Structure 1
């Protein structure tokens, strides 16, 4: 099913196949954050494999995933003589992955759900950098698909919604599908021809989410994204996603229907593969005890009502779940963090090069201060 909103939700330029077929692994995001925090050029250094403790191709993969999860933001280098893009850690990366952050080693499965939401979500100027993932989770039918069928679904949606100049090579989409399966499937098959395939079987933390299951073997093997209640998805993380999604259409107090939260493309229900009854049940206990949240019913439709601006409220709910990280001594505000890393809002010194206006346009697509 094509969706005309797809170009608004995803970034296609440089977004296909850049993971080098490596799914994100345990420790990668924390390690990348700790290095980027001190060195904006880390991903371009000759000794990056030594500093990050991975192979050369994995350095490129770590760079891609850090950006895709919106944990780093790339921008023009302050030195006008350098072509390579510098990287700065976002405020949300500081909140989650710092040694004194919410969950630097991703020990709470809720943190993986949160990262999964950040990976697929778009809004506030920050697009989704994994268009293949977005299409499969939001626009593919809820049925079993072979790898080839997934590739066809992604290809069709990209071709229907973007000009030909933005179409990726077919191999890039196939690599995305392969990587997606590595990332989420509990019962995937070992491919001796794929780089890191065996290690991916053991080291992708997102398999803990239980989102993808397979049936059969070989080319006829089918994949199904599971749906239903998510016992390891904390209600505050789900509520954060719901309020974050609501903020795309309302910056003030208001409400959003549970049907939209469950079924709209880009919604928490699509991202977490939860239907309306399961989503409602999952957040009811939190809502009943929270003074600023309420489930209301009007004209036969149930909605999540919020008495404060949804995005700040989303962070209040999430931060409380992780022990009020923002209240810890020395924790920076988003404004203080951006002052430390001015490239996050485009205020870094800009090289006087012909291609610079195009780079600035890219910056405009990225979420400010997060």
Structure 2
């Protein structure tokens, strides 16, 4: 959720975007065999994929924070259970789950640095693949002080676009573009791509609530977040307005809906010209997992 220039990574996905069946199928398999990924041959047979795809699945499980790997065993995390567990959305059928998975990927600055950079730092509403590659190269060189191979950065850009953008005529579209239904990146009919900010009225409220809970939990002593900081990435923090590609009007509409749904939990205030969102329940820390459990199971 916050960029650490000493802990970054690019191109660890083996050029494979996250695919629809990978997360549900992997969690189901890991419940039977926690050492599944310690034996590549066994993982290949159980998951029905090649060796490189096994590595890619291992990567995406870690990026999304669904599985913790230690030595020869894997443990499904509380987040994995709350999001894709048997009592939640085990078959990835709920659109809200896709939005939350997107948030988890785009805020993981350590393991998916290129994705974090795109959604939090790259603001051009229209661009070509070469333009975004040049901008990512500049970021890695000038800000991170890294000299990454052009092929590595290019693989990040290619994988990002294949994951998020549906391109007419591409034969592997049904496999790759898992997050295309979110409409965050689209092929531009005039060439290249577009990723504009918009009101996004169909953004599920639970995705916004989960993102805010994670953001408040990351700074437990901070009672308020600036609305500008929520809209635009300030400093090294991820910004939910940027990650969800929300316009200012769209962000405010969603925040108003959140305040109406949870009176007494949040409050918008103007103090000395600073517009801020306050967490009012100071005796109770924000619990992102509680947000998911309440949504998927009705647990209070």
Scaled by the length of structure 2, what TM-score is found?
0.87
Structure 2 CA distance, aligned partners of 1:158 and 1:73? 28
Structure-2 residue corresponding to 1:47: 42
Q: CA separation in 1, counterparts of 2:158 and 2:101?
A: 20
130-139 or 297-306, larger mean C-alpha shift: 297-306
Change in Cα spacing, 1:318 to 1:94, as seen in structure 2 (3 Å) is closer
- Judge conservation of contact 2:121–2:233 (CA < 8 Å) in 1: no
**Residue of structure 2 in register with 1:351 after alignment:** none
Kept in 2, the 8 Å contact 1:236–1:317? The answer is yes
- Aligned to 1:142, the other structure's residue is in SS state coil
The CA RMSD measured in Å over matched residues stands at 2.4
Secondary structure in structure 1 of the residue aligned to 2:98: helix
Deviation per residue, 1:204-258 (Å, 9 max, x gap): 32111011112257xxx3211132122331112202212322333x314722121
Change in CA separation of 1:7 and 1:252 when aligned onto 2, cut-off 3 Å: closer
Higher relative contact order (CA 8 A, sep 6+): 1
Is 1:321 paired with 2:295? yes
Query: Aligned partners of 1:314 and 1:44: how far apart in 2?
Result: 30
The match for 1:228 is 198
Distance 2:33 2:192 in 1: 43
2:116 alignment partner in structure 1: 134
Shift of the 113–128 alpha-carbon distance from structure 1 to 2, 3 Å rule, reads farther
Over 6 Å off, 4+ runs:
none
Q: Which residue does the alignment assign to 2:86?
A: 99
Secondary structure of 1:32's partner?
helix
2:253 aligns with 281
Q: 2:179 aligns with which of 196, 206, 218?
A: 206
Give the aligned length: 293
2:239 matched to 1:242?
no
Aligned twin of 2:233? 264
Residues 313 and 306 of structure 1: is their aligned pair in 2 closer, same or farther, counting only changes over 3 Å?
farther
1:150 aligns with 2:122: no
Structure 1 residue 200: deviation in Å? 3.8
Hey, what's the Cα distance between the residues in 1 that align with 2:198 and 2:83?
A: 27
Judged with a 3 Å threshold, the aligned counterparts in structure 2 of structure 1 residues 283 and 238 are, in CA distance, closer, same or farther, namely same
Secondary structure in 1 aligned to 2:4?
A: helix
Find the partner of 1:119 among 105, 108, 112.
105
| Counterpart Cα distance in 1 of 2:37 and 2:177 | 21
Structure 1 counterpart of 2:16: 22
State which drifts further: 297-306 or 271-280.
297-306
Counterparts in 2 of 1:230 and 1:278: CA distance versus 1, 3 Å = same
SS in 1 for 2:60: helix
User: What is the CA distance between 1:294 and its match in structure 2?
Assistant: 1.8
Q: Distance in 1 between the 2:34 and 2:23 partners?
A: 15
Match of 1:57 among 46, 49, 52: 52
Name the structure 2 match of 1:294: 267
- Alpha-carbon distance, 1:187 to partner: 2.8
Q: Report SS of the residue matched to 1:67.
A: helix
User: What's the counterpart of residue 4 of structure 2?
Assistant: 7
Give the direction of change, closer, same or farther, for the CA distance of 1:247–1:41 in structure 2 (3 Å limit): same
- C-alpha contact 1:253 1:307 (8 A) present in aligned 2: no
CA distance in 2, matches of 1:49, 1:99: 23
Structure with the greater alpha carbon radius of gyration: 1
Unmatched segments (≥5 aa) in structure 2 = none
For residue 176 of structure 1, report the CA deviation from its aligned partner.
1.1
Residues of 2 paired with 1:181 and 1:188: CA distance? Answer: 13
Deviates further, 175-184 or 235-244: 235-244
Given that residues 106 and 112 in structure 2 are in contact (C-alpha distance below 8 angstroms), is that contact kept between their aligned partners in structure 1? yes
Gaps of 5+ in 1: 78-85, 191-197, 328-370
> Does the CA-based 8 Å contact 1:226-1:273 persist in structure 2?
yes
**What secondary structure does 1:295 align onto?**
strand
User: Is the alpha carbon distance of 1:253 and 1:120 closer, same or farther for their aligned partners in structure 2, counting shifts above 3 Å?
Assistant: same
